[in-house]
Amino acid sequence: MPETSPPAIELRSIDKSFGAVRANRDVSLQVARGSITGIIGENGAGKSTLMSILYGLYEADSGEIYVDGRRVRIRSPRDAIASGIGMVHQHFMLIDTFTVLENVVLGAEAGPVLRPSLAAARRELDRLGRDYGLRVDPDAIVGTLPVSEQQRVEILKVLYRGARILILDEPSAVLTPQETEQLFRILQALRARGATVILITHKLREIMAVTDMVHVMRHGQVVAERRTAETSSAELAELMVGRKVRLALDKTAPQAGTPVLRARSIGLRDSRGVRLLDGIDLDLRAGEIVGIAGVSGNGQSELLEVLAGIRAPSDGSLAIGERVIDAAHPADPAEMRALGLAHVPEDRHRYAMVAPFAANETAILGYHNEAPFSGTCLLHHRAMVGHCAELMDGYDVRPRQPALRSSSFSGGNQQKLILAREIATRPRILLVGQPTRGVDIGAIEFIHRQLVAARDAGCAILVVSVELDEVMALADRILVMFGGRIVGEVAGDAADERTLGLMMANVWKPGET
């Protein structure tokens, strides 16, 4: 990196407020041409806002943006693309029923007639595939491709539009460890060809693995800038949260008791008859944490839904105490709650909260018919607010405002409130999906400790997470799911990342070599 060439991106004093919240405060940073630069920070630190400003999704309140040393005004993604900036979003912006080629060309057609655009795009895709190792069948229907290849299509789309600067927002969230490795090789190939990559992530491991430089953001500001080679995970973690954190969890050996939930040969088919779950056997014992590892979409979500009573199993049965639940005798979530089962869903926005509701309303969701919140026919507002304030105190939910809209809380605080709600009922069984998805490091630690405390109090806990680190840190037993089946079981302290990763990809089973 010769000092004479201007940086690919330079941001000067970027400020951005949303109402009273200052999402970015006087942010200045430089990204060298031909580098992979990481931006790391807790949720709500302002990483995504900053990148949205760079990509033209928001306009900064003040500050300047320079691309290759020239000042530019970016008011829309169109401006960003014209300046050579492209973005790969966390949620893919692809049309499932179109082919790869059509998706790449969409929005960048060369004229009113499609055929010449497609022919040119086919040649260009071929070249990009050779140059960067980004090989995808241009005629495949996008919806039929695995997630990792869809991500490649997203990257191809950006390159096809002539981007020299790529922004990737949490790209590994949907990938297996092996697929993540592959992605990193692609990023390195891009760098070798002179492209500039900005990687937004909250995973320290990835920063350490692939970046040249790293900027740490906290509370809307850039608090540190390090050459990756000269820093460590521990230092970055400390910079992110502003204090030392333990990534590993101290926990005692489990005192596993009797099984409180027994699942036998649980199967689930969707309306078209596709098998989503197949022959699941599972015992949950009081006082243990069972972790489920697996790449998203291998049946973990469906398993949680069946156990929580949201969907009835098509085959097999589920026993909680005397109650046996099967296809002919389903139980709804309300009955499950009455049986002592609490559920922190994977997708909290979809299931666990109602965005426009006040926090105190979200804090009784599912328990709204119970005393002291509900009398014979009226809700007791004071009891609701008091209960919510208690939960907020106990779980350090900020801001401590029971009347605030649920959606106004950050992801981590929403999750803490939901966890507080479910644990507060002292359940016999607790199902937790993605306990720390979108939660910052400080809160992760807190949530993990709460789960272990609940376990120690005798609760049977099932944790489903796509974060291997998390499953390994929490679980006393780890079950690996693939294709709707449980493909392996590993004791928590005997698990290692590589073995689990291979099991998750169903290429290795315990006992094989």
Binding residues for another protein (CB under 8 A): 17, 19, 61-62, 308, 310, 332-335, 337, 343, 345, 350-357, 361, 364-366, 368-369, 373-374, 377-379, 381
Q: Which residues of 90-108 are buried (b: 16+ CB within 10 A; e: fewer)?
A: eebebeeebbbbbbbbeee
Q: 174: which DSSP letter? A: G
Residue 176 C-beta: closest distance to another protein, Å: 27
CB 283 within 8 A of CB 265: no
Residue 360 C-beta: closest distance to another protein, Å: 11
CA angle 505, 512, 495 (to 5 degrees): 65
Name the helix (H) or strand (E) containing 107: none
Residue 403 C-beta: closest distance to another protein, Å: 13
- In degrees and rounded to multiples of 5, residue 25 shows phi and psi of -125, 110
Q: What percent helix, strand, coil does the chain show, rounded to 5?
A: 35, 25, 40
Pick between residue 98 and residue 357 the one whose CB is nearest to another protein.
357
Q: 358: which DSSP letter? A: B
List 481's β-bridge partners, or say none: 486
Residue 103 C-beta: closest distance to another protein, Å: 29
3-state secondary structure 249-311: CCCCCCCCCCEEEEEEEEEEECCCCCEEEEEEEEEEECCCEEEEECCCCCCHHHHHHHHHCCC
Tokens encoding 338: 């009455």
Pick between residue 26 and residue 235 the one whose CB is nearest to another protein.
26
Residue 401 C-beta: closest distance to another protein, Å: 17
Residue 92 C-beta: closest distance to another protein, Å: 22
Pick between residue 34 and residue 333 the one whose CB is nearest to another protein.
333
Pick between residue 23 and residue 168 the one whose CB is nearest to another protein.
23
Name the helix (H) or strand (E) containing 239: helix 233-241
Pick between residue 351 and residue 482 the one whose CB is nearest to another protein.
351
Residue 278 C-beta: closest distance to another protein, Å: 24
Pick between residue 271 and residue 513 the one whose CB is nearest to another protein.
271
Q: What is the DSSP string of 110-168?
A: SSS-HHHHHHHHHHHHHHHHHHH-----TTSBGGGS-HHHHHHHHHHHHHHTT-SEEEE
Pick between residue 344 and residue 503 the one whose CB is nearest to another protein.
344
Residue 428 C-beta: closest distance to another protein, Å: 17
Pick between residue 58 and residue 132 the one whose CB is nearest to another protein.
58
Pick between residue 35 and residue 362 the one whose CB is nearest to another protein.
362
Separation CA 280–CA 179 (nearest Å):
26
Length of the chain in terms of residues written: 513
CB 503 within 8 A of CB 479: no
Residue 72 C-beta: closest distance to another protein, Å: 18
